[in-house]
């Protein structure tokens, strides 16, 4: 039975026109904008971003803009989202392409250095008000940067094709330590800063089981996918 099902899948794959699964943009997308960070929320100003020089198929979008939805906690707690955020990112120059946000990675650092006197080299993932997605690093005692990562799917509404994405957001703070940032947001304040983002749209190795499963729409290919860098 397994062999017959697998054979049927390969037969179905063989008759899918190449053009039907060639429209999703792949490569590395670089983008930037301004963000307001407060306790439990990441608000992208104007709900927009600008695309910087990018690679692969994303290069065709250089200099254009897109929209992006805000992140709040709750309901967007770290880990797999209970409800995926559709149209989390959209692109003005490619309206058939969108990003569905499904996973907010928890921060990777301990919280033990979050409340120490500021010094270069310190790292911190806050636990207030809940597990944070932020990775905070002090470059010096008076400068730092913050980053977080999310995962999801890039979707082509014309073909129905989806491929996995990973997006990393970073915010530099040239005159503040992360202890100062935490004091502001934990005191109910808001921090406004520029951000830079990088999204990688990865495709399975041609001919792999991952490629078959993704094209057949089962979603099981996620288990076997292999990242490919382009550009």
Lowest mean pLDDT among 57-71, 134-148, 192-206: 192-206
For 97-138, the pLDDT digits (tens) are 999 999 999 999 999 999 999 999 999 999 877 789 999 999
**Distance between CA atoms of 163 and 142, rounded to whole angstroms?**
40
Task: Retrieve residue 136's tokens.
Answer: 């905070």
List the chain domain ranges.
Answer: 2-224
Cβ-in-10-Å burial (0-12, 13-18, 19+) of 98 comes to buried
pLDDT at 212 over 50: no
pLDDT at 144 over 70: yes
The residue among 41 and 224 whose pLDDT is bigger is: 41
For 6-39, the pLDDT digits (tens) are 444 434 333 333 333 347 899 999 999 999 999 8
Establish how many alpha carbons lie within 13 A of residue 228's alpha carbon, considering only the half-sphere containing its beta carbon.
16
Mean pLDDT computed over 188-201: 96
Using alpha carbons, select from 86, 228, 103 the residue that is nearest to residue 168. 103
**Distance between CA atoms of 224 and 216, rounded to whole angstroms?**
14
Whole-number pLDDT of residue 156: 95
Task: Retrieve residue 84's tokens.
Answer: 């995926």
pLDDT at 216 over 70: no
Greatest alpha-carbon pair distance for the chain in Å reads 65
Q: Whole-model pTM?
A: 0.78
């Amino acid at each position: 039975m397994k062999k017959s099902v697998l054979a049927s899948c390969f037969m179905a794959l063989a008759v899918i026109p190449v053009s039907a699964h060639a429209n999703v943009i792949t490569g590395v997308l670089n983008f930037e904008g301004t963000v307001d960070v407060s306790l439990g929320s990441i608000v992208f100003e104007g709900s927009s971003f600008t695309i910087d020089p990018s690679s692969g198929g994303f290069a065709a979008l250089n200099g254009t803009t897109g929209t992006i939805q805000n992140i709040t906690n709750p309901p967007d707690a770290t880990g797999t989202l209970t409800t995926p955020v559709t149209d989390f990112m959209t692109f003005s120059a490619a309206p058939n392409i969108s990003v569905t946000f499904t996973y907010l990675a928890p921060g990777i650092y301990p919280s033990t250095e979050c409340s120490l006197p500021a010094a270069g080299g310190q790292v911190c993932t806050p636990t207030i008000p809940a597990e944070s997605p932020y990775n905070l690093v002090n470059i010096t005692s008076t400068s730092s940067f913050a980053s977080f990562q999310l995962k999801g799917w890039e979707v082509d509404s014309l073909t129905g094709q989806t491929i996995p994405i990973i997006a990393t957001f970073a915010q530099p703070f040239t005159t503040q330590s992360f202890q100062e940032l935490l004091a502001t947001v934990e005191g109910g304040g808001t921090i406004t800063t520029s951000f830079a983002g990088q999204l990688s749209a990865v495709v399975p190795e041609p001919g792999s089981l991952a490629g078959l499963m993704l094209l057949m729409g089962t979603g099981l290919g996620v288990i076997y996918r292999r990242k490919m860098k382009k550009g």
